Amino acid sequence: MLSPGATIGILGGGQLARMLALAGARLGLKSHVFSPVADDPAFDVCSARTRADFLDEAALAAFADAVDVVTYEFENVPARTAEVLEAHCPVRPNPKILALTQDRLIEKQFVRGLGIPTADFADVSDAGSLARAVAALGRPSILKTRRFGYDGKGQTHIREGVDLAQAFATLGGAPCILEGFVPFVKEVSVVAARGVDGSFRAYDVCENVHEHHILATTTAPAAISEATARQAIDMARAIAQDADYVGVLAVEMFVVADAQGERLVVNEIAPRVHNSGHWTLDGAVTSQFEQHMRAVAGMPLGSTRRHGRQVVMRNLIGADADTWAGILADDGACLHLYGKTESRPGRKMGHVTRILD
């Protein structure tokens, strides 16, 4: 177990890194942020900074030598980066989760291998395999690049009438996966943590609403049955255990309701703190950010108990953040702004949380 005063290295300097550094400081942990972007928001709240490219091996080695453990705020850490870091200090979560989650095909195979339902899927490497996949999975279905997709980027819908060769070309001819349509009634996620000792703690399953493929609101707890919630948490636990995961992870799931009742379909694993866990900053005894820092430092996990009857988190995307003065004046609204110097459409600028009693 690391002691207070230890330094956590964080790869990436965005809002997740910033909130991790702020949470670490509560526990007396120092943060050293590594990012190639000069004005990244985490640089403002850490005790040491490295501005370098993620493939700059000398900078990575010096960074890893200067910290006690390295963690990351994003899943697209290059494999070589993790390899260089691991030669110098522990990297948590275990980078093998990166290989799993950077490729949608491998991720789905992994989840299925645990006996957990996912959407039907097929490997697509060219127009021919796309045609065979569409024949098998039907329309509508979704074609996604296997790698580097987020917030709706790198995907296209295969509806009736869509030309398959053109759809495949739209995604640049990259290796893809076709996912069958899931007629879901809501999207939920489990934000949970696993400790170095194998302990596991989950927050209340929460319900997510996306707009334009970007998370708009999260409500905790989700309006699902207790049995479904338990099942969701069991799925997240199985994933974390099998991956020998250490830290906070989020598992996004669809809830499908049919004559048999509710059932869950796992959509995606995020091997990091997650936007759908931001409500825990104000709405839970231990925030997901502190929980992650505890886990990667080898410390015991904290209580995930929720405050209030219901907690609602709303993202401030782009110009939404310009309404900050109104939010500050709204009694009971907890405002978080990420200190980004430039507002762009679709950019996550902050969030606001309300605890309802």
* Nearer residue to a second copy within complex by CB, 142 or 295: 295
Residues shown for the chain: 357
In terms of CB distance, is 45 or 174 closer to a second copy? 45
Residue closer to a second copy, measured from CB, 188 or 281: 281
Count Cβ atoms below 10 Å from residue 240 Cβ, excluding itself: 27
The residue among 4 and 152 lying less far from a second copy, judged by its C-beta, is: 4
Residue closer to a second copy by CB (options 259, 329) is 329
Cα–Cα distance, 210 to 186 (Å, whole number) = 10
Residues that bind a second copy (CB under 8 A): 1, 3-5, 18, 21-22, 25-28, 30, 43-47, 282, 285-286, 294, 299-300, 302-303, 305, 307-308, 321, 324-325, 328-329, 331-332, 334-339, 341, 350, 355
Q: Rounded CA gap, 354 and 350, in Å? A: 14
CB of 286 vs a second copy, minimal distance in Å? 7
Shortest distance, CB of residue 75 to a second copy, whole angstroms?
25
Distance, in Å, from the CA atom of 141 to the CA atom of 156, rounded to the nearest integer, reads: 9
229 contacts 244 by C-beta, under 8 angstroms: no
Q: How far is the CB of 195 from a second copy (least distance, A)?
A: 11
Q: Minimum distance from CB of 311 to a second copy (Å)?
A: 11
Cβ atoms of 284 and 203 closer than 8 Å: yes
Structure tokens at 136: 């098998």
Q: State the nearest-atom distance from the C-beta of 338 to a second copy, in Å.
A: 7
Closest CA to 181 of 90, 119, 114: 119
| Shorter beta-carbon distance to a second copy: residue 26 or 344 | 26
Neighbours of 68 (CB within 10 A): 20
C-alpha to C-alpha distance for 162 and 127, rounded to whole angstroms: 13
Which of 215-230 are b and which e, b meaning 16 or more Cβ less than 10 Å from the residue's Cβ? bebbbbbbebeeebbe
Q: Which residue's CB is nearer to a second copy, number 15 or number 276?
A: 15
Q: What minimum distance in Å lies between the beta carbon of 324 and a second copy?
A: 6
We find the least distance from the C-beta atom of residue 35 to a second copy, in angstroms, to be 15
Residues forming a β-bridge with 265: 254
* Distance, CA of 229 to CA of 255 (rounded, Å): 10
* Pairing state between β 176-180 and 200-202: unpaired
Residue holding tokens 């870091």?
Answer: 85
Name the minimum Å distance from CB 327 to a second copy. Answer: 10
Closest to a second copy by CB, 273 vs 321, is 321
Q: How far apart are CA 314 and CA 274, in angstroms?
A: 14
27 or 257: CB nearest a second copy: 27
The H or E element containing residue 237 is: helix 226-242
Q: How far is the CB of 307 from a second copy (least distance, A)?
A: 5
Cis peptide before 78 (omega within 30 of 0): no
202 token code pair: 């989950």
